[in-house]
Amino acid sequence: MTSHLSLLGTVHTAISLVPVAAGLYSFVRHGSIEPSTDSGRIYLAGLVLSVLTSFGLSSTGGFNPGHALGILALVAVGASLLVPRLRFLGALRPYLATLGRSFSYFLLLVPGIAETLTRLPATQPLAQGPESPVVRATLLGWTVLFLIGSALQAWVIRTRR
């Protein structure tokens, strides 16, 4: 079973790889996605473009869970940029800002994982759909990695204070 990508699907996939790579680089280099760095700015721009281009795509013919996750990722990253200005949050600000950006990265990859596993390898994809055990297991692993990473980020913020 081969799944062919439309031109928009191909463009969206290429654009979506930009925030994935920039976010990964940011995590490795800075321990988090920092909007003040080049990689952080590239991540933010790539995330917005990735979500916007996803709206032209739908295997169901309309609004789907992937679109909802994209909107949620934009809300999370938008809130993470606003949080440092909210004085009433006090000492929670760096934690919430970092968590928001990390959560947006987590959400960015949820539909990406499902799509990748249902399309690759092209001749015989690893999964038949988003409900496949391999997709569920991979997403569970991704969730655990996100939780561990977020706890580690919080610990680093705390130890730097």
pLDDT tens digit sequence for 86-95:
999 999 999 9
Q: Which residues contact 124 (CB under 8 A, 6 or more apart)?
A: 1
Distance CA 148, CA 159 (A): 16
Which residues in 48-76 are b (16+ Cβ under 10 Å) and which e?
bbbbebbeebeeeeeebebbebbeebbeb
Residue 3 has pLDDT above 60, yes or no: no
Given this model, what pLDDT does residue 1 score?
43
Which of 41-45, 63-67, 81-85, 113-117 is the least confident region? 63-67
Task: Tell if the pTM clears 0.75, that is, is over it.
Answer: yes
Identify whether 121 is preceded by a cis peptide bond (ω within 30 of 0).
yes
Residue 156 has pLDDT above 80, yes or no: yes
